[in-house]
Chain A
Amino acid sequence: MKKALLPIFYFSLLIASTSMALAPTGDYEVTEGHSIAFKSADPSGKFTDISGDVTYASGSPTDATFNLKIPVNTISTGNGMMNKKALTKEWFEEETYPNIKFKSTSVTKDENGELQIKGDLTIKGTSKEYTIPAKVSGSSSKYTFKGTFYVNRIDFKVGKKSETVPDKMKIVYELPVSKKTDK
Protein backbone atom coordinates (compact mmCIF):
# COMPACT_ATOMS: atom_id res chain seq x y z
CA MET A 1 0.00 0.00 0.00
CA LYS A 2 2.81 2.37 0.97
CA LYS A 3 4.47 1.73 -2.40
CA ALA A 4 1.35 2.89 -4.20
CA LEU A 5 1.24 6.25 -2.41
CA LEU A 6 3.99 7.86 -4.47
CA PRO A 7 2.49 7.03 -7.90
CA ILE A 8 -0.99 8.07 -6.70
CA PHE A 9 0.34 11.40 -5.44
CA TYR A 10 2.46 11.86 -8.56
CA PHE A 11 -0.34 11.29 -11.05
CA SER A 12 -2.88 13.28 -9.00
CA LEU A 13 -0.49 16.22 -9.04
CA LEU A 14 0.03 15.75 -12.78
CA ILE A 15 -3.73 15.94 -13.40
CA ALA A 16 -4.15 18.94 -11.07
CA SER A 17 -1.25 20.89 -12.54
CA THR A 18 -2.33 20.17 -16.12
CA SER A 19 -5.82 21.49 -15.40
CA MET A 20 -4.26 24.62 -13.82
CA ALA A 21 -2.09 25.09 -16.90
CA LEU A 22 -4.91 24.60 -19.35
CA ALA A 23 -7.57 26.55 -17.45
CA PRO A 24 -9.09 28.99 -19.90
CA THR A 25 -8.36 32.60 -19.16
CA GLY A 26 -9.63 35.59 -20.95
CA ASP A 27 -12.21 38.04 -21.91
CA TYR A 28 -15.89 37.42 -22.30
CA GLU A 29 -18.84 39.51 -23.35
CA VAL A 30 -22.48 39.37 -22.37
CA THR A 31 -24.52 37.39 -24.86
CA GLU A 32 -28.15 36.61 -25.65
CA GLY A 33 -30.24 34.91 -23.02
CA HIS A 34 -29.53 37.44 -20.27
CA SER A 35 -32.22 38.58 -17.89
CA ILE A 36 -32.32 41.10 -15.11
CA ALA A 37 -35.58 41.33 -13.25
CA PHE A 38 -36.65 43.48 -10.31
CA LYS A 39 -39.34 42.21 -8.01
CA SER A 40 -41.38 43.88 -5.32
CA ALA A 41 -44.99 44.01 -4.18
CA ASP A 42 -45.46 46.79 -6.75
CA PRO A 43 -43.97 47.31 -9.30
CA SER A 44 -42.10 44.37 -10.82
CA GLY A 45 -40.46 44.16 -14.18
CA LYS A 46 -37.20 43.73 -15.99
CA PHE A 47 -34.51 45.42 -18.03
CA THR A 48 -34.39 43.86 -21.46
CA ASP A 49 -30.81 44.80 -22.25
CA ILE A 50 -27.49 44.47 -20.49
CA SER A 51 -24.06 44.66 -22.06
CA GLY A 52 -20.46 44.70 -20.96
CA ASP A 53 -17.23 42.83 -20.49
CA VAL A 54 -16.25 40.10 -18.09
CA THR A 55 -12.86 38.55 -17.51
CA TYR A 56 -12.97 35.18 -15.87
CA ALA A 57 -10.73 32.16 -15.43
CA SER A 58 -12.08 29.04 -13.76
CA GLY A 59 -8.59 28.39 -12.36
CA SER A 60 -8.48 31.75 -10.59
CA PRO A 61 -12.08 32.96 -10.19
CA THR A 62 -11.12 35.65 -7.69
CA ASP A 63 -9.23 37.46 -10.47
CA ALA A 64 -12.52 37.96 -12.35
CA THR A 65 -13.65 41.43 -13.34
CA PHE A 66 -17.08 42.69 -14.35
CA ASN A 67 -17.88 45.91 -16.18
CA LEU A 68 -21.58 46.04 -17.01
CA LYS A 69 -24.08 48.55 -18.34
CA ILE A 70 -27.86 48.50 -18.39
CA PRO A 71 -29.67 51.14 -20.48
CA VAL A 72 -32.52 52.38 -18.29
CA ASN A 73 -34.78 52.92 -21.30
CA THR A 74 -35.01 49.14 -21.66
CA ILE A 75 -37.16 48.96 -18.53
CA SER A 76 -40.26 46.89 -18.99
CA THR A 77 -42.91 46.74 -16.30
CA GLY A 78 -45.66 45.39 -18.50
CA ASN A 79 -47.33 48.81 -18.42
CA GLY A 80 -46.35 51.40 -21.05
CA MET A 81 -47.35 54.38 -18.91
CA MET A 82 -45.30 53.08 -16.01
CA ASN A 83 -42.29 52.52 -18.28
CA LYS A 84 -42.43 56.15 -19.40
CA LYS A 85 -42.83 57.36 -15.84
CA ALA A 86 -39.78 55.32 -14.78
CA LEU A 87 -37.62 57.38 -17.15
CA THR A 88 -38.69 60.75 -15.71
CA LYS A 89 -36.64 62.97 -13.43
CA GLU A 90 -38.34 61.61 -10.30
CA TRP A 91 -37.26 58.07 -11.06
CA PHE A 92 -34.27 57.15 -13.28
CA GLU A 93 -33.87 60.53 -15.02
CA GLU A 94 -32.93 58.79 -18.25
CA GLU A 95 -32.07 61.99 -20.11
CA THR A 96 -29.16 62.74 -17.74
CA TYR A 97 -28.32 59.22 -16.56
CA PRO A 98 -29.07 56.85 -19.44
CA ASN A 99 -27.30 53.82 -17.93
CA ILE A 100 -27.07 51.82 -14.74
CA LYS A 101 -23.45 50.70 -14.34
CA PHE A 102 -21.64 48.11 -12.30
CA LYS A 103 -17.86 47.85 -12.10
CA SER A 104 -16.34 45.21 -9.88
CA THR A 105 -13.48 46.02 -7.53
CA SER A 106 -12.81 42.60 -5.99
CA VAL A 107 -14.14 39.06 -6.12
CA THR A 108 -14.05 36.45 -3.38
CA LYS A 109 -15.35 32.91 -3.16
CA ASP A 110 -17.50 31.95 -0.18
CA GLU A 111 -17.69 28.60 1.63
CA ASN A 112 -20.54 27.47 -0.67
CA GLY A 113 -18.39 28.03 -3.74
CA GLU A 114 -20.37 31.11 -4.81
CA LEU A 115 -18.60 34.23 -5.97
CA GLN A 116 -19.12 37.42 -3.99
CA ILE A 117 -18.56 40.25 -6.45
CA LYS A 118 -17.86 43.53 -4.73
CA GLY A 119 -18.07 46.65 -6.84
CA ASP A 120 -19.52 50.05 -7.48
CA LEU A 121 -23.14 50.16 -8.55
CA THR A 122 -24.02 53.46 -10.17
CA ILE A 123 -27.64 54.44 -10.60
CA LYS A 124 -28.79 57.95 -11.43
CA GLY A 125 -25.28 59.30 -10.96
CA THR A 126 -24.89 57.92 -7.44
CA SER A 127 -22.35 55.18 -6.75
CA LYS A 128 -22.61 52.77 -3.84
CA GLU A 129 -20.55 49.75 -3.00
CA TYR A 130 -22.54 46.54 -3.40
CA THR A 131 -21.66 42.88 -3.10
CA ILE A 132 -23.46 40.72 -5.62
CA PRO A 133 -23.52 36.93 -5.19
CA ALA A 134 -23.03 34.79 -8.28
CA LYS A 135 -23.32 31.09 -8.99
CA VAL A 136 -21.15 30.16 -11.94
CA SER A 137 -21.88 27.39 -14.40
CA GLY A 138 -20.50 26.44 -17.80
CA SER A 139 -17.00 26.02 -19.02
CA SER A 140 -14.32 27.30 -21.33
CA SER A 141 -16.08 29.27 -24.06
CA LYS A 142 -19.31 30.08 -22.23
CA TYR A 143 -20.16 30.77 -18.61
CA THR A 144 -23.38 31.81 -16.90
CA PHE A 145 -23.47 33.88 -13.72
CA LYS A 146 -26.72 34.05 -11.80
CA GLY A 147 -27.90 35.30 -8.47
CA THR A 148 -30.23 37.38 -6.37
CA PHE A 149 -29.61 40.52 -4.35
CA TYR A 150 -31.42 43.57 -3.05
CA VAL A 151 -31.04 47.21 -4.01
CA ASN A 152 -32.37 50.08 -1.93
CA ARG A 153 -33.71 52.55 -4.49
CA ILE A 154 -33.73 55.36 -1.90
CA ASP A 155 -29.90 55.13 -1.71
CA PHE A 156 -29.84 56.18 -5.34
CA LYS A 157 -32.66 58.72 -5.14
CA VAL A 158 -34.79 56.67 -7.50
CA GLY A 159 -38.29 57.81 -6.57
CA LYS A 160 -39.30 58.95 -3.13
CA LYS A 161 -40.26 57.07 -0.03
CA SER A 162 -43.68 55.69 -0.59
CA GLU A 163 -46.22 53.44 1.07
CA THR A 164 -46.97 51.64 -2.16
CA VAL A 165 -43.49 51.20 -3.65
CA PRO A 166 -41.07 49.42 -1.31
CA ASP A 167 -37.56 50.85 -0.82
CA LYS A 168 -35.83 47.54 -1.36
CA MET A 169 -36.17 45.85 -4.71
CA LYS A 170 -35.21 42.22 -5.21
CA ILE A 171 -32.98 41.80 -8.24
CA VAL A 172 -32.80 38.41 -9.94
CA TYR A 173 -30.30 38.15 -12.74
CA GLU A 174 -28.85 35.69 -15.18
CA LEU A 175 -25.81 36.71 -17.15
CA PRO A 176 -24.50 34.43 -19.89
CA VAL A 177 -21.12 35.40 -21.29
CA SER A 178 -19.15 33.94 -24.15
CA LYS A 179 -15.55 34.26 -25.17
CA LYS A 180 -14.71 37.33 -27.20
CA THR A 181 -13.52 36.63 -30.68
CA ASP A 182 -10.72 38.68 -32.21
CA LYS A 183 -12.15 41.22 -34.59
Chain B
Amino acid sequence: MRKFMYLGLLTASISSVVIAAYLYSMYSFIPEGSPDPLVSLDSPMRKELSSVKLIGIYSSLSLVASLLLWVFNKYAGKWGVFALNALISVASILGFYFVLTYLRDGWDVFQIIGTPLFYIWPLIWMGCQPLFLMEIKSK
Protein backbone atom coordinates (compact mmCIF):
# COMPACT_ATOMS: atom_id res chain seq x y z
CA MET B 1 0.00 0.00 0.00
CA ARG B 2 2.77 2.43 0.94
CA LYS B 3 4.53 2.21 -2.41
CA PHE B 4 1.25 3.08 -4.15
CA MET B 5 0.89 6.10 -1.89
CA TYR B 6 4.44 7.17 -2.73
CA LEU B 7 3.62 6.75 -6.42
CA GLY B 8 0.57 9.01 -6.00
CA LEU B 9 2.54 11.64 -4.11
CA LEU B 10 5.42 11.63 -6.60
CA THR B 11 3.07 11.87 -9.58
CA ALA B 12 1.11 14.67 -7.87
CA SER B 13 4.32 16.62 -7.18
CA ILE B 14 5.84 16.27 -10.64
CA SER B 15 2.58 16.89 -12.52
CA SER B 16 1.85 20.00 -10.40
CA VAL B 17 5.22 21.50 -11.28
CA VAL B 18 4.87 20.62 -14.96
CA ILE B 19 1.31 21.96 -15.33
CA ALA B 20 2.18 25.19 -13.48
CA ALA B 21 5.20 25.68 -15.78
CA TYR B 22 3.12 24.82 -18.86
CA LEU B 23 0.36 27.29 -18.04
CA TYR B 24 2.88 29.96 -17.07
CA SER B 25 4.67 29.59 -20.39
CA MET B 26 1.45 29.49 -22.41
CA TYR B 27 -0.06 32.49 -20.66
CA SER B 28 3.22 34.39 -20.95
CA PHE B 29 3.29 33.60 -24.64
CA ILE B 30 -0.15 35.16 -25.06
CA PRO B 31 0.62 38.87 -24.72
CA GLU B 32 -0.89 40.51 -21.67
CA GLY B 33 -3.24 43.39 -22.34
CA SER B 34 -3.92 42.06 -25.80
CA PRO B 35 -6.75 43.98 -27.44
CA ASP B 36 -8.26 40.64 -28.35
CA PRO B 37 -10.61 39.80 -25.47
CA LEU B 38 -10.18 36.08 -26.12
CA VAL B 39 -6.57 36.10 -25.02
CA SER B 40 -6.62 38.93 -22.50
CA LEU B 41 -6.23 38.51 -18.75
CA ASP B 42 -9.99 39.05 -18.47
CA SER B 43 -10.71 36.07 -20.68
CA PRO B 44 -13.26 33.75 -19.01
CA MET B 45 -11.11 30.78 -20.01
CA ARG B 46 -8.02 32.13 -18.27
CA LYS B 47 -9.98 32.80 -15.12
CA GLU B 48 -11.48 29.32 -14.99
CA LEU B 49 -8.41 27.44 -16.21
CA SER B 50 -6.15 28.73 -13.47
CA SER B 51 -2.94 27.08 -12.26
CA VAL B 52 -4.50 26.51 -8.83
CA LYS B 53 -7.43 24.61 -10.32
CA LEU B 54 -5.29 22.46 -12.60
CA ILE B 55 -2.80 21.65 -9.84
CA GLY B 56 -5.82 20.57 -7.79
CA ILE B 57 -7.14 18.41 -10.62
CA TYR B 58 -3.77 16.79 -11.37
CA SER B 59 -3.02 16.13 -7.70
CA SER B 60 -6.45 14.63 -7.03
CA LEU B 61 -6.13 12.47 -10.14
CA SER B 62 -2.71 11.22 -9.02
CA LEU B 63 -3.87 10.31 -5.54
CA VAL B 64 -7.15 8.72 -6.62
CA ALA B 65 -5.42 6.81 -9.45
CA SER B 66 -2.80 5.43 -7.05
CA LEU B 67 -5.54 4.14 -4.74
CA LEU B 68 -7.30 2.57 -7.72
CA LEU B 69 -4.02 1.05 -8.88
CA TRP B 70 -3.58 -0.53 -5.46
CA VAL B 71 -7.09 -2.03 -5.68
CA PHE B 72 -6.64 -3.22 -9.30
CA ASN B 73 -3.23 -4.69 -8.51
CA LYS B 74 -4.46 -6.42 -5.39
CA TYR B 75 -7.37 -8.16 -7.09
CA ALA B 76 -6.13 -8.63 -10.66
CA GLY B 77 -2.33 -8.40 -10.48
CA LYS B 78 -0.48 -7.15 -13.54
CA TRP B 79 -3.65 -7.39 -15.65
CA GLY B 80 -5.33 -5.03 -13.24
CA VAL B 81 -2.49 -2.54 -13.65
CA PHE B 82 -2.75 -2.96 -17.41
CA ALA B 83 -6.54 -2.43 -17.35
CA LEU B 84 -6.30 0.78 -15.32
CA ASN B 85 -3.55 2.21 -17.52
CA ALA B 86 -5.52 1.25 -20.63
CA LEU B 87 -8.56 3.10 -19.25
CA ILE B 88 -6.41 6.17 -18.58
CA SER B 89 -4.94 5.99 -22.10
CA VAL B 90 -8.39 5.77 -23.69
CA ALA B 91 -9.61 8.73 -21.61
CA SER B 92 -6.53 10.69 -22.66
CA ILE B 93 -7.13 9.99 -26.36
CA LEU B 94 -10.82 10.87 -26.03
CA GLY B 95 -9.68 14.12 -24.42
CA PHE B 96 -8.24 15.23 -27.78
CA TYR B 97 -11.67 14.91 -29.36
CA PHE B 98 -13.23 16.70 -26.41
CA VAL B 99 -10.91 19.68 -26.92
CA LEU B 100 -11.51 19.78 -30.67
CA THR B 101 -15.26 19.80 -30.26
CA TYR B 102 -15.44 22.08 -27.20
CA LEU B 103 -17.16 25.30 -28.17
CA ARG B 104 -17.79 28.00 -25.65
CA ASP B 105 -17.84 31.79 -25.77
CA GLY B 106 -14.44 33.19 -24.84
CA TRP B 107 -12.74 29.76 -24.92
CA ASP B 108 -11.37 29.85 -28.49
CA VAL B 109 -7.73 29.61 -27.33
CA PHE B 110 -8.62 26.41 -25.46
CA GLN B 111 -8.27 24.47 -28.71
CA ILE B 112 -4.61 25.53 -28.83
CA ILE B 113 -3.56 25.04 -25.23
CA GLY B 114 -6.14 22.42 -24.20
CA THR B 115 -4.86 19.30 -25.94
CA PRO B 116 -1.63 18.85 -23.91
CA LEU B 117 -3.67 19.07 -20.71
CA PHE B 118 -5.04 15.63 -21.53
CA TYR B 119 -1.71 13.87 -21.99
CA ILE B 120 0.67 15.66 -19.59
CA TRP B 121 -0.74 13.87 -16.57
CA PRO B 122 -1.01 10.35 -18.12
CA LEU B 123 2.60 10.57 -19.37
CA ILE B 124 3.89 11.50 -15.93
CA TRP B 125 1.70 8.88 -14.28
CA MET B 126 2.96 6.08 -16.48
CA GLY B 127 6.53 7.37 -16.40
CA CYS B 128 6.63 7.20 -12.60
CA GLN B 129 5.13 3.72 -12.27
CA PRO B 130 8.30 1.68 -12.95
CA LEU B 131 9.95 3.37 -9.95
CA PHE B 132 7.53 1.63 -7.64
CA LEU B 133 5.99 -1.30 -9.49
CA MET B 134 8.83 -2.90 -11.47
CA GLU B 135 11.74 -4.74 -10.13
CA ILE B 136 14.46 -4.75 -12.78
CA LYS B 137 17.32 -6.97 -11.86
CA SER B 138 20.76 -5.52 -12.36
CA LYS B 139 23.40 -7.64 -14.06
Residues of A within 8 A of B (CB): 6-7, 9-10, 13-14, 16-23, 25-27, 55, 57, 59-60, 63, 65
If over half of A's interface residues share one DSSP class (helix, strand or loop), that class is named, otherwise mixed; here it is helix
User: Chain A residues with Cβ under 8 A from B139's Cβ?
Assistant: none
Is B20 part of the contact surface with A, judged by Cβ < 8 Å?
A: no
Contact A18 B56 (CB under 8 A): yes
Contact B63 A17 (CB under 8 A): yes
User: Closest Cβ of chain A: how far from B125's Cβ, in Å?
Assistant: 15
Contact B63 A10 (CB under 8 A): yes
Contact B64 A14 (CB under 8 A): yes
Kindly identify, within residues 65 to 84 of chain B, every residue whose CB is under 8 Å from any CB belonging to chain A: none
Choose one: B2, B12, B42, B48; the contact of A25 (CB below 8 Å): B48
Contact B52 A59 (CB under 8 A): yes
Contact A59 B56 (CB under 8 A): yes
User: Chain A residues with Cβ under 8 A from B57's Cβ?
Assistant: 17, 20-21
- Give CA–CA (A16, B60) in the complex, Å: 9
Query: Given A6-B2, A10-B5: A59 and B53 within 8 A (CB)?
Result: yes
Known pairs A18-B60, A23-B56, A65-B42. 18 more at Cβ < 8 A?
A: A6-B6, A13-B63, A14-B60, A17-B12, A17-B56, A17-B60, A18-B56, A20-B56, A21-B59, A21-B60, A23-B52, A26-B44, A26-B47, A57-B53, A59-B50, A59-B53, A60-B50, A60-B52
Contact B47 A25 (CB under 8 A): yes
Beta-carbon nearest neighbor of B57 in chain A:
A21
Is B55 part of the contact surface with A, judged by Cβ < 8 Å?
A: yes
User: Chain B residues with Cβ under 8 A from A7's Cβ?
Assistant: 5
Is B122 part of the contact surface with A, judged by Cβ < 8 Å?
A: no
- Give CA–CA (A14, B50) in the complex, Å: 19
- Give CA–CA (A94, B44) in the complex, Å: 33
Beta-carbon nearest neighbor of B64 in chain A:
A14
User: Chain B residues with Cβ under 8 A from A14's Cβ?
Assistant: 59-60, 63-64
- Give CA–CA (A60, B53) in the complex, Å: 9
Contact A20 B9 (CB under 8 A): no
User: Closest Cβ of chain A: how far from B57's Cβ, in Å?
Assistant: 4
Contact B50 A10 (CB under 8 A): no
Choose one: A13, A17, A22, A26; the contact of B48 (CB below 8 Å): A26
User: Chain A residues with Cβ under 8 A from B50's Cβ?
Assistant: 25, 57, 59-60, 63
Kindly identify, within residues 30 to 63 of chain B, every residue whose CB is under 8 Å from any CB belonging to chain A: 42, 44, 47-48, 50, 52-53, 55-57, 59-60, 63
Contact B52 A20 (CB under 8 A): yes
User: Closest Cβ of chain B: how far from A57's Cβ, in Å?
Assistant: 7
User: Closest Cβ of chain B: how far from A96's Cβ, in Å?
Assistant: 28
> Can you spell out 19 A-B residue pairs with CB atoms less than 8 angstroms apart?
A9-B9, A10-B5, A13-B9, A13-B12, A13-B59, A14-B59, A14-B63, A17-B12, A17-B55, A17-B60, A20-B53, A20-B57, A20-B59, A22-B56, A23-B56, A25-B48, A25-B53, A57-B47, A59-B56
